[in-house]
Copies of this chain bind each other. A is one copy, B any other.
Amino acid sequence: MASSSSSSSPTCLRIGIIGFGTFAQFLARTMLKQGHVVVATSRSDHSDLSSRMGVKFYRSIGDMFSETDRIDVVLLSMSILSMADVVRSLPFDRLGRSGDLPLFVDVLSVKEYPRDLLLQVLPEEADILCTHPMFGPESGREGWKGLPLVYERVRIRNQNICQKYLQIFETEDCRMVELSCEEHDKMAAKSQFITHTIGRVLSEMDIKSTPMDTKGFQTLLQLRDNTTKDSFDLYRGLYQHNRFAKEELEKLELAIRTVREKLLDVPNGKEHS
């Protein structure tokens, strides 16, 4: 299966994943289900899991690009923090003939950073699609219906391949949200980054279920559990590579000080006895 070529079917893509961690494995399952061919490479050896899934696993990026079968889409799914090193180490002489290069797609949870990096490092002839599926193995467990796929067509000349790739998410009934990388990062700092921060803060506090949990507290326990299933590298990436995150963290700290002041503000001049 892994050796069949995308040219055999007009809608079937041959997707080469770099960074085959939790999130890439989660995406690959749906891609395989839809009939695409998935090959992968990663820092660590994921060959056992890969062969069980039906994914051909290569021990190095060089090996993956040495195969005779053409890769239509290179899917970059490494941690945010490792992307620069990985992308800079790509075997540029083996990516494909100029004019017939694969489409480069990233799935990083920040978007200006990979856009800039890919524009800077990839050959000018390579097409670039920056995407962020706003869901993961937990929130997308029951399917992807209605969940947002944010994307920007950063540099697309081969509309056909790009459309086929986006079709993967359309087929699953994702909400397709075309947004600039900048808009993504602004909104993500105010929403996803704050959500992760609260999950991490709750995890530092070591909160736990009691015999008298309110429903609100139960949702916080759930949030804490879902957040800490993601790696701390992912969270750190959200902060270090989204230029809007710092300000939102400061707003959060300010909001806590404001709430504290309001709490201490004793109404009617009455003191707690």
Contacts and interface: CB of A to CB of B under 8 A. Distances in A.
Interface of A: 81, 84, 132, 134-135, 139, 147-148, 150, 175, 177, 179, 184, 187-188, 190-192, 194-202, 204-205, 207-208, 210-217, 219-220, 222-223, 226-227, 232-233, 235-236, 239-241, 249, 251-256, 258-260, 262-263, 266-267, 270, 272-273
Contacts of A215: 135, 139, 147
A214 B192 contact: yes
A115 to B, nearest CB: 14
Contact of A217 (B194, B204, B214, B262): B194
Contact of A220 (B139, B198, B236): B198
So how many copies of this chain end up in the complex?
2
Given A201-B256, A222-B219, A212 B188 contact: yes
A216 B212 contact: no
A204 B255 contact: yes
A210 B223 contact: no
Contacts of A262: 200, 232, 236
Contacts of A197: 256, 259
Which 3 A-B pairs have CB atoms at the shortest separation, nearest pair first? A204-B255, A139-B215, A195-B216
B220 A267 contact: no
A218 to B, nearest CB: 9
Contacts of A263: 235-236, 239-240, 249
B148 A213 contact: yes
Nearest to A227: B216
A191 B205 contact: no
Contacts of A198: 198, 220
Which of A184, A187, A191 has the most chain B CB atoms closer than 10 A to its own CB? A191
Contacts of A204: 254-255, 258-259
A199 B219 CA distance: 12
Contact of A207 (B139, B184, B191, B253): B191
Given A175-B211, A190-B210, A220-B223, 20 more contacts: A134-B212, A134-B214, A135-B215, A148-B211, A148-B213, A177-B211, A187-B210, A191-B217, A192-B216, A195-B214, A195-B216, A195-B217, A200-B259, A201-B252, A201-B255, A204-B259, A205-B251, A205-B255, A219-B222, A249-B263
Contact of A191 (B147, B212, B235): B212
B219 A191 contact: no
18 contacts: A134-B214, A135-B214, A148-B213, A150-B212, A184-B212, A197-B256, A200-B259, A201-B259, A204-B255, A204-B258, A216-B226, A219-B219, A240-B263, A240-B266, A249-B260, A252-B256, A253-B256, A253-B260
